[in-house]
Structure 1
Amino acid sequence: MRLLFRYLLCLLFFFTCFGSEIRGQKPFIFEPSKAKVNLKQHFVVLEDSMQKYTAKELLKNDSLFQPLNRFTYKGKTNAFWLKTRFKSTQQISVVIDFRHLTFADLYLIADTPGAVLMHRSAGALRAIEQITKGDSRYHFSFKADKNVSYILLIKSEHIKSYSPIFDFYLSERYQFLEKKFERELNELWPQGASALLFIYIFLRWVSTRYRPFIWLMLFVGAFNLYGIGLNRYMIDWFFASAPWMGLLIVQCCLYLGLFGLYMLLLDSWNIKERDVKLYRWGKTLIYGLPLMAAIIFLINYYFTNYQLTAKISTNFLLVLFVYSVVLLVKIWKKLDKHERLLAYGLICFLMTNLMSTAGIYGWGEDYYIVLPSISKAVSVCIAFLFLMGLNGRLKKFEDDHTHFLKELTLLQQHQNELLEQNVKERTKELSQRNAHIETLINELNHRVKNNLQVLYGLNSLRLAAKDNMDADGILKDNISRIKAMMLVNDNLQLGEGNQPLALKPFIENIIKHSAQVFDAENRVAFKVSINDGLQLDSSRGLPLGLIVTELIVNSYKHAFKNCVHPQITLKIELKENAWLMYYNDNGSGMPENVISSFGTDLIRDLTRQMQGELELTNVNGIFYTFIFSDNRLGIS
């Protein structure tokens, strides 16, 4: 009996204390003019692990629920029914908002006879087509009449494997929209700053082609997208009909930003040359980033365990943290002041990383409310530090480049001065040598002239002796040839270097001297046709002079023995890019046995030497035609 009595007392105590909370909840009073109401303190809850209850059933039955402040959940991904009653002091549009739920369904009915049940759908991973018109992913909107009691039932489903959070707030619609606008404005300014910073970095890369700007651009762009994804804007802008895909891409943006960060550090700090072991570890971690991104993507895609992937990411970030600390300790003293700005940015990133890790482990999914703002603000600050470091380093490179160019210019000027000095000295030396050579040439010409004079004098003395006629002819021939050589030598001595000879005076002197030797009585008439402006290359003077001498000597010796009025005609002209020389006399011509004599053979050899052609006609005197093509005579 005593045991039964005690049992009845316990039941009486239980219904006295908790019966009013479970059965027939009294509606709380909602005053729109005041601050929004946290519904968590008014909820009773039911965990529906088998998805066996319906809204109509639960709206009528309060006995299945228990107070939320005494509730312990059994499964993180189960469905939870939250129920309460409220009464508004005004007729007004109200909003129920939340932050974390994957799927949420609102059931609302006035606690009056004949009331109609209202159902609205929302949720983070609900396609836009499934969300009730007038609502968003994170709020319900409806109208409440004055002093009417409403039964509010919410079905909450969270498939991310985080601990269930029942953060529902009831507020007046205008007040909610005002706060929402203010919150979005605060979220958008760091996004705008990141976008402007991204554009600036891109323009810097375009103007400089400095590779670390690519990694900085990747870091800023990826972390900006990461913040946008955490704020749910990425889903609303790009994945409204497939929100789960937008949520998967958010983690990929995080790892893409980390890839850009550590590539920037390895590249701009030149770790490969400063510490090969650190460089290899860094490359290994960088290669691990896409692998981790793929693992997290697959876990979230197939198992939707976002809490697990968040812990995996956090642990991997701790590994990066350790590597970064070791990296800073080992190379700190090797960094210049510009590179240390990047180190300060890395330290800022590591501190934020530690704070985020502690926040995720301590507050779970609640920390993701403030993480986007922290992520964007810190990423902008870090990017500014990195940008200042890169710009400073680039400026240092440009200053060093300018300094090297100045030194190179000075060195080149000095080399030019040395070269000019060497050229002057060499020019002076060559001038002295040229003067010496000119002296030697003049001396040689003088000696040649003296020798020719001696030969000319000896032959003249021998000619005066007149031992016999044959010797007399030989001596005259030699005298004429020597005179031709002397004329050429005289013209060379009068000029400087390779100056050309005046053709007409040169030929006339040969004719005059030949007449003195062979025609003392001036019986032979000469008809010479040479333009006064024609000039003869000095290298061609001797062979041409000897040819003309031999022609005149042959005419004197063989042509005019029986001629009453002897005459010799000589003409030189330019015709169709070829120089022509005509020579003829009106003598008796030459016998066949004379045509191949020494004189004619010498004429042919000299013509071949000058690369010319010779035509000989032996009718009514003798007629020579010389053709020197392509200016072989050097006449101008």
Structure 2
Amino acid sequence: MKLRPALSIYLYILLSLPSFCLGEGVFISEKNAEAHTLLKPFFYAIEDSSDNYSAKDILHKQQSDFSLLEQLKLSAPDHTIWLKTTIQTSKDLLHRDFHLSFDHLTFVDLYLFKDDSLVTHRQAGVFRKQSEISAGDQRLGFNLLLNKASNYQLLLKIKHTKKYPPIFNFQLQDAYAYLVTNRNLDLTNAWLQGALAILFLYACISWLVNRYRPFVWVALFLLLIGLYGFSLQPQYIDLLFPSYPETGWLLVLVYLHSGIISFYLLMADFLEIKKNDATLYRCLMYVIKAIPFFTLLCLTNNILTSNYYLTNQINLYISIVHLSCIGYTFFTLWNKLDSGQRFLLYGIIVFAAGAIALVGITFVLNEQGFIYAPIITKTTIILIAILFLAGIGRKLRQHEQEKIATLKLLNKLHSEHNVLIEHKVEERTIELQAMNSKLTLQQEELISQHNHIQTLMDELNHRVKNNLQMLYSLSTFQLPQIQNEKGKQVLNEMRSRIKAMMLVNEHLNTETEKQFVQVSSLTKEIKQHIQYIYDPQRTVKIELDIPDNFSLSTKHSLPFGLILTELFTNTFKHAFEPEYIAPSIKIGIFLAEEEIQLTYKDNGKGAEKLDTRSSMGISLIHDLARQLKGQLQINTNSGFNYLFTFPKH
């Protein structure tokens, strides 16, 4: 009973020691140099709401102006706060390099005084530009050089602009011990980042090989969520946005929301939700379309107000919507999916578990949860990716097995089809052989008929030729016996027409099987014959401009030859007087796209007035032009100028 008062006093003193130690300076000796020393219990704090104080002002303020950090109540989380403490080193201290670390504060200025003299001023923080951070320091820590047996005054100016309640978990530790501790965390993150990179490359290569679209969504999911996990580490800002840290932090939510979109697209595509549940598919599409608008809203809030805390709280509540969608998808589609697709549902369970863990840590620890978020995120998405890829691989194997079974069935059907085709071919071959025999007989009959017709045609041509030759010879023999010049002219005209018909007939018998007459050759022979009759001395110059490759059909060649005969005859009879100077005739044929033009021109005396009714030659020329379905224009101003226009066909 006598021990009870003494024991009570002892317990009271023991429990009161921590409160007595609050705000006292930090003592560093060789024994505790390598240990983590949490400085929060040793800090005095003062709020600088107008941001007017300098380090000297804070250093010379009275102790009564400060309050213990544990008792400080901030009027606003983004106000400037000054922290003050003393650091005393022992005489036996062998270490000199120390590291002062903190977590996720946006702007931190360190002032270290010794005997009221400024030893060093450093700057760091999440939003601090890389150029403002001293060499050797880190974004979330300072390297300090402390001498033994010395007293230092440590001032920290803190401004946390993200509107989170600031966390003052400053820790002082030997620099080497800090590097060893931090190296383990960095190695863990590096291994996880490497695993993500390998899985990302595997998904990309798998898509290139198989062209199976879910591999694209897996690759995007790994890339975007991997970027989200990496963006929560200080190295992200140092590597990608050293001069614009706030821009880098703005993209954190973009990575997260884009990764969620790729996750939903993977669900919709691989689970074939559109086919299995159209209503669920429409809901997922609405969620996917709403995410970019929600992202834009969050970015606007962060840019205009820098209230990252509010954005984080909204995202925590929105995560309930995502978890609800995932849960509803799981319970709705479980019985409709095959074994390969169920692997994706296992991945969805892991995704939901990781999301719940992140939400819980962030809800409880606020910004402090970002320390553990990268490892949780990377571990979760590695497990998800493995399950997704395993499910896709199983699905592809199922497709391959189904393809093999289908190919076997197709081969069987193909064999049966080949047998049917062979029977059909045999039947058709017999029919074709019978038809071929019949066609052979018909061909022989046609050849016989053709030969008979050819014989008759040859006989007919021979008789026509003989008759024309006989008419021409009789008219030639009769010519010397006629004393009347008028009669001779009529007989010569008749001879010319007969000769023209003979020439056309000769050309038809000697040209190709298509029975076309070469016009240039026919025109030359008609010219020579008419000139021989009327101009044996060749005083009239005749010029021909006719394409060598121009030919006429049987139907058109005879009227054409007779037209030339009449034109030559009229010219030689009427155009030139006996002493006419330089008489000439020009004949030309010009080919247009749809018509043929024949021009005939002499430089004779012409005629003042042309009477077609009194001229048999002109009337005959008009009739022959109509047979060619052509038109004729005659100009008699300076000689006769004829222009014939008739279609090609």
TM tier, shorter chain?
A: 0.5 to 0.7
CA deviation after TM superposition for structure 1 residue 46, in Å: 2.2
Given that 2:140 and 2:234 are in contact with CA atoms closer than 8 Å, whether structure 1 keeps it comes out as no
Q: Taking structure 1 as reference, are residues 499 and 43 closer, same or farther at Cα in structure 2, changes over 3 Å only?
A: same
Higher mean C-alpha displacement, 428-437 vs 416-425: 428-437
The aligned residue for residue 389 of structure 1 is: 391
Q: Taking structure 1 as reference, are residues 629 and 148 closer, same or farther at Cα in structure 2, changes over 3 Å only?
A: same
The aligned residue for residue 566 of structure 1 is: none
Q: Taking structure 1 as reference, are residues 430 and 19 closer, same or farther at Cα in structure 2, changes over 3 Å only?
A: closer
The aligned residue for residue 95 of structure 1 is: 99
What do you get for the CA RMSD once the two structures are aligned? 3.7
CA deviation after TM superposition for structure 1 residue 550, in Å: 9.6
Q: What is the CA deviation profile of residues 543-589 of structure 1, one whole-angstrom value per residue up to 9, with x for unaligned ones?
A: 3556789999x9xxxxxxxxxxxxxxxxxxxxxxxxxxx999xxxxx
CA deviation after TM superposition for structure 1 residue 314, in Å: 1.3
The aligned residue for residue 614 of structure 2 is: none
The aligned residue for residue 450 of structure 2 is: 540
Choose the corresponding residue for 1:341, options 318, 340, 343. Answer: 343
The aligned residue for residue 54 of structure 2 is: 54
Q: Taking structure 1 as reference, are residues 192 and 545 closer, same or farther at Cα in structure 2, changes over 3 Å only?
A: same
Q: What secondary structure sits across from 2:63 in the alignment?
A: coil
Given that 1:21 and 1:67 are in contact with CA atoms closer than 8 Å, whether structure 2 keeps it comes out as no
CA deviation after TM superposition for structure 1 residue 173, in Å: 1.6
2:321 partner amino acid: V
Fraction of identical pairs, as percent: 31
Matches within 5 A, 1:44-443: 44-60=44-60, 61-88=62-89, 89-90=93-94, 92-110=96-114, 112=115, 115-431=117-433
1:142 partner amino acid: L
CA deviation after TM superposition for structure 1 residue 289, in Å: 0.8
Given that 2:125 and 2:139 are in contact with CA atoms closer than 8 Å, whether structure 1 keeps it comes out as yes
Whole-angstrom distance in 2 between the partners of 1:548 and 1:104: 119
Higher mean C-alpha displacement, 45-54 vs 288-297: 45-54
Whole-angstrom distance in 2 between the partners of 1:248 and 1:436: 89
Whole-angstrom distance in 1 between the partners of 2:51 and 2:210: 62
Whole-angstrom distance in 2 between the partners of 1:437 and 1:123: 100
Higher mean C-alpha displacement, 398-407 vs 130-139: 398-407
CA deviation after TM superposition for structure 1 residue 317, in Å: 1.3
The aligned residue for residue 618 of structure 2 is: none
CA deviation after TM superposition for structure 1 residue 100, in Å: 1.7
Higher mean C-alpha displacement, 408-417 vs 229-238: 408-417
Q: Taking structure 1 as reference, are residues 118 and 591 closer, same or farther at Cα in structure 2, changes over 3 Å only?
A: closer
Whole-angstrom distance in 1 between the partners of 2:221 and 2:19: 58
Q: What is the CA deviation profile of residues 239-270 of structure 1, one whole-angstrom value per residue up to 9, with x for unaligned ones?
A: 11110110110111000000100011112222
Whole-angstrom distance in 1 between the partners of 2:126 and 2:461: 121
Given that 1:349 and 1:382 are in contact with CA atoms closer than 8 Å, whether structure 2 keeps it comes out as yes
Pairing 1:627–2:629 present: no
Q: What secondary structure sits across from 1:166 in the alignment?
A: coil
Q: What is the CA deviation profile of residues 2-42 of structure 1, one whole-angstrom value per residue up to 9, with x for unaligned ones?
A: xxxxxxxxxxxxxx99998689x455234365312111232
Q: What is the CA deviation profile of residues 279-306 of structure 1, one whole-angstrom value per residue up to 9, with x for unaligned ones?
A: 1111111111111111111111111111
Q: Taking structure 1 as reference, are residues 290 and 30 closer, same or farther at Cα in structure 2, changes over 3 Å only?
A: farther
Given that 1:103 and 1:122 are in contact with CA atoms closer than 8 Å, whether structure 2 keeps it comes out as yes
Q: Taking structure 1 as reference, are residues 282 and 434 closer, same or farther at Cα in structure 2, changes over 3 Å only?
A: closer
Whole-angstrom distance in 2 between the partners of 1:548 and 1:140: 120
1:29 partner amino acid: I
Q: Taking structure 1 as reference, are residues 269 and 153 closer, same or farther at Cα in structure 2, changes over 3 Å only?
A: same
Q: Taking structure 1 as reference, are residues 539 and 52 closer, same or farther at Cα in structure 2, changes over 3 Å only?
A: same
CA deviation after TM superposition for structure 1 residue 194, in Å: 1.4
Given that 2:78 and 2:161 are in contact with CA atoms closer than 8 Å, whether structure 1 keeps it comes out as yes
CA deviation after TM superposition for structure 1 residue 360, in Å: 1.3
Whole-angstrom distance in 2 between the partners of 1:291 and 1:190: 31
Q: Taking structure 1 as reference, are residues 428 and 267 closer, same or farther at Cα in structure 2, changes over 3 Å only?
A: same
The aligned residue for residue 27 of structure 2 is: 28
Unaligned runs of 5+ in 2: 1-15, 468-472, 476-500, 516-649
Larger Rg: 1
Given that 1:102 and 1:125 are in contact with CA atoms closer than 8 Å, whether structure 2 keeps it comes out as yes
Q: What secondary structure sits across from 2:65 in the alignment?
A: coil
Q: Taking structure 1 as reference, are residues 425 and 252 closer, same or farther at Cα in structure 2, changes over 3 Å only?
A: same
Whole-angstrom distance in 1 between the partners of 2:237 and 2:209: 35
Q: Taking structure 1 as reference, are residues 210 and 417 closer, same or farther at Cα in structure 2, changes over 3 Å only?
A: same
Aligned pairs, number: 471
2:322 partner amino acid: L
Whole-angstrom distance in 2 between the partners of 1:292 and 1:276: 24
Q: What is the CA deviation profile of residues 474-529 of structure 1, one whole-angstrom value per residue up to 9, with x for unaligned ones?
A: xxxxxxxxxxxxxxxxxxxxxx96399xxxxxxxxxxxxxxxxxxxxxxxxxxxxx
Q: Taking structure 1 as reference, are residues 51 and 434 closer, same or farther at Cα in structure 2, changes over 3 Å only?
A: closer
The aligned residue for residue 498 of structure 1 is: 444
1:338 partner amino acid: G
Whole-angstrom distance in 1 between the partners of 2:150 and 2:312: 44
Q: State the TM-score, normalized to the length of structure 2.
A: 0.65
CA deviation after TM superposition for structure 1 residue 362, in Å: 1.3
Given that 1:83 and 1:152 are in contact with CA atoms closer than 8 Å, whether structure 2 keeps it comes out as yes
Q: Taking structure 1 as reference, are residues 387 and 64 closer, same or farther at Cα in structure 2, changes over 3 Å only?
A: same
Whole-angstrom distance in 2 between the partners of 1:49 and 1:498: 119
Q: Taking structure 1 as reference, are residues 243 and 545 closer, same or farther at Cα in structure 2, changes over 3 Å only?
A: closer
Whole-angstrom distance in 2 between the partners of 1:345 and 1:625: 93
Q: What is the CA deviation profile of residues 41-74 of structure 1, one whole-angstrom value per residue up to 9, with x for unaligned ones?
A: 3222223333343322322332322333444444
Given that 2:99 and 2:178 are in contact with CA atoms closer than 8 Å, whether structure 1 keeps it comes out as yes
Higher mean C-alpha displacement, 256-265 vs 415-424: 415-424
Q: Taking structure 1 as reference, are residues 136 and 418 closer, same or farther at Cα in structure 2, changes over 3 Å only?
A: same
Unaligned runs of 5+ in 1: 1-15, 442-495, 501-536, 555-581, 585-589, 593-614, 618-623
Q: State the TM-score, normalized to the length of structure 1.
A: 0.66
Given that 2:25 and 2:42 are in contact with CA atoms closer than 8 Å, whether structure 1 keeps it comes out as no
2:51 partner amino acid: Q
CA deviation after TM superposition for structure 1 residue 365, in Å: 1.4
Given that 1:22 and 1:62 are in contact with CA atoms closer than 8 Å, whether structure 2 keeps it comes out as no
Whole-angstrom distance in 2 between the partners of 1:139 and 1:408: 70
Whole-angstrom distance in 1 between the partners of 2:432 and 2:118: 119
Whole-angstrom distance in 1 between the partners of 2:307 and 2:221: 27
CA deviation after TM superposition for structure 1 residue 437, in Å: 8.9
Whole-angstrom distance in 2 between the partners of 1:86 and 1:548: 134
Q: What secondary structure sits across from 1:95 in the alignment?
A: strand
CA deviation after TM superposition for structure 1 residue 404, in Å: 3.1
CA deviation after TM superposition for structure 1 residue 541, in Å: 3.0
Whole-angstrom distance in 2 between the partners of 1:264 and 1:26: 57
Given that 1:105 and 1:122 are in contact with CA atoms closer than 8 Å, whether structure 2 keeps it comes out as yes
CA deviation after TM superposition for structure 1 residue 307, in Å: 1.4
Q: Taking structure 1 as reference, are residues 406 and 26 closer, same or farther at Cα in structure 2, changes over 3 Å only?
A: closer
Given that 2:101 and 2:142 are in contact with CA atoms closer than 8 Å, whether structure 1 keeps it comes out as yes
Whole-angstrom distance in 2 between the partners of 1:48 and 1:541: 124
Whole-angstrom distance in 2 between the partners of 1:632 and 1:226: 84
